[in-house]
Chain A
Amino acid sequence: MKKWMAMAAVLALGVPATAAQAADKLKACWVYVGPVGDFGYSYQHDVGRKAVDKALGDKVETVFLENVAEGPDAERAIERLAREGCKIIFTTSFGFMDPTIKVAAKYPDIKFEHATGYKKADNVGIYNARFYEGRYVMGQIAAKMSKTGTAGYIVSFPIPEVVMGINSFMLGAQSVNPDFKVKIVWVNSWYDPGKEADAAKVLLGQGADILVQHTDSTAPLQEAEKAGKLGFGQSSDMIKFAPKAQLTSNTDDWDPYYIARVQAVLDGTWKPDDTWGGMKDGMVVLSPFTNMPDDVKKMAEDTVAKIKSGEFHPFTGPITKQDGTTVGEAGKPLPDGELLGMNYYIKGIDDKLPQ
């Protein structure tokens, strides 16, 4: 016991020295809405953080706060990082938008980057990925692979980002099978493995044989695996959780973006930009196509290539809404502003958008 105490005392004395060393490095910080162990959205942002560590580790120190609820705690969490000497803070969930703007106003010398929102400031840039591009390809694969012609879609919150994803998925599916059906369950959470698994069971029970999710846990895919059905991963490659079920996963690759932004702070060239990157920029990456025949794989790869080259855009007008009206000019992609405020389903989705 005495030995312990002595050791602890030595360690305690050692602490100020390491703190002083760390002060020379640039501190880059992240705020996550979920646990880094979700193996989905927050996990993938954390992979990006680690990439920064790896690439710029000699000049940069990284710190994160996980599981920060979108509510009264968010502002405090962000401000804490600002006070701890972070020079750039990435807030990675939509609900952190207003708290980020508030804290940024108090700390004009610190750079902030908010993911998936729309409010900017002199020291707040915004970034997001065009997840819908991957979802279009997933829709095509689903329509080819499904025997029942029905997919089950597990979703979090009816915000434009998510609605855009459902629409893109259906446009992809309809391009293969115009009568394709989708059943939708809202679980009202980004991360709730229990609820997500329940929703998956219900959807499988209702005749869906392919599961799609816009939530962050691996639970739905694991349910598909158990039932011997198919599914798509979300945010990160979930193949090890469902080696027989995962067709592909719509992964976010934040590594290059985070490295570039932190580097910009180091160089003094950081500006509050508005980045919406897609497959072309390497921000949206479909993980290897598995558990499907070669012709389906070929089709998926072709579509990816077309989206990358800019030859094809999933939301090419005119697009017919659920109520029969159309948006967009023929042959032209919908403008980004229209996409970012999307609050309607396209024709063929047999569900009512909660609002």
Chain B
Amino acid sequence: MRLVLEKRAEASGRMAILSPVIAIALTLITGGIIFALRGLNPFSALYVFFVEPLTTSWSIEQLIVKAAPLAMIGAGLAVSYMANVWNIGAEGQLTAGAIVGSAIPVFFPEFQSPPTLALMLSLGVIGGMAWAAIPAFLKNRFGTNEILTSLMLVYVIQLALDWLVRGPWRDPKGYNFPKTIAFSDWQLLPQFQLLPPSVGPIYINLGAIFAVAAVVALAFMMGRTLKGYELRVQGIAPRAGRFAGFSREKTVWFCFLLSGGLAGLAGICEVMSTVGQLQPGISPSYGFTAIIVAFLGRLNPIGALVAAFALAISYLGGESAQVALGISDKTARVFQGVLLFYILACDSLILYRLKIIGRTPGPAEAKA
């Protein structure tokens, strides 16, 4: 008796909906087993992990803070990957955006008015775009592999950031510690009250609003406009795209500038909110995690938003599990790994069907 994967004649619509559900169910079961093996009560552990982050207004706020940059970058990457443009360097574009936008408070600390905010944000976008333009240019001009160039440029800009905050941009009153002056007032993102205090006040910053706006705009573009159609055709059938007269060069430029600009915006939003200054560590690898977000969201901008929340929950759940259950942060990472593994594994059920050859199997075996 053996299991084989048999290609379906066409993608299964039912499985497309069921596969994430199966994946999450399998993750919960596996997670429960891991917790039980560690001698913990699997039910309360899973509660701490997945439900507790949603139970207080503070943790929901934190969830939004964590998910916003992931959704913003992930949505841009989803569009790029859909069009077969492989921007792996969002982390670098994020850093570039943060650096360029931070030039305003570093050089003009006294410049405090609404235009300060607008200028910093725009410079953030420009910074991200500029850094993304390099792999786009190299790809179009010399045919270089954009996966490599965009990735390597991450390390270049991170070292540049390191150099800046240790040297020329260092806070003169900061005992030589590597950071710029602390940003204040209009150099920080304003906060908005999302829900009234009676419900439990939830504050969000401008970054979250940008993230949702970006997701909605990109979803509209991909689903309802000619540009979206053009990008999708190039992803699914590059030759057909060429015959249709779509310019590959323009698509490369478009995707890099779009995803780079969004990554840059996410970067400047981070330094203008959670970090409040430029320092060597400004992102817990948001740009790389967003690659996972894009794929978890099936290269769909709305999907990226959902995926960003799912990953944010697993991060926050991991922290609350450390505090409440005293387990290592490695457990949280194992969990994320298990989730990704099952999602990718279950996705193959959309295109393939499981078939058992040999004696007639019992239903329990078929499910495993």
Which of A's residues lie within 8 Å of B, judged by CB?
4, 8-9, 11-12, 14-15, 29, 35-37, 63-67, 69-73, 75-77, 79-81, 83-84, 94-95, 98, 102, 118, 157-160, 188, 340-343, 354-355
Contacts and interface: CB of A to CB of B under 8 A. Distances in A.
Contact of B323 (A80, A158, A159): A80
B251 interface: no
Interface in B274-332: 274-277, 279-284, 316, 319-320, 322-324, 326, 328-330
A26 B80 CA distance: 52
A115 to B, nearest CB: 14
A157 B277 CA distance: 18
A355 B165 CA distance: 9
B44 interface: yes
Interface of B: 36, 41-44, 56, 58, 62, 65-66, 159, 162-163, 166-167, 170, 175-179, 182, 270, 274-277, 279-284, 316, 319-320, 322-324, 326, 328-330
B176 A341 contact: yes
B58 A83 contact: yes
A215 to B, nearest CB: 15
B329 A66 contact: yes
Nearest to B179: A98
A76 B62 contact: yes
Contacts of A354: 163, 166
Contacts of B56: 83
A4 B43 CA distance: 11
Given A83-B58, A98-B277, A8 B43 contact: yes
A70 B165 CA distance: 15
A71 B175 CA distance: 19
Given A70-B280, A188-B159, 4 more contacts: A63-B323, A84-B323, A159-B177, A341-B176
Contacts of A343: 176
A211 to B, nearest CB: 24
Given A15-B44, A72-B270, A65 B281 contact: no
A100 to B, nearest CB: 13
A158 B58 CA distance: 36
B329 A71 contact: no
B323 A70 contact: no
A160 B176 contact: yes
A6 to B, nearest CB: 12
9 contacts: A11-B44, A35-B329, A65-B319, A71-B274, A72-B282, A76-B65, A80-B319, A81-B323, A160-B175
Contact of B279 (A15, A71, A83): A71
A66 B275 contact: no
B279 A80 contact: no
Contact of B328 (A66, A84, A118): A66
Nearest to A85: B323
Contacts of A35: 328-330
Contact of B274 (A75, A83, A342): A75
B40 to A, nearest CB: 8
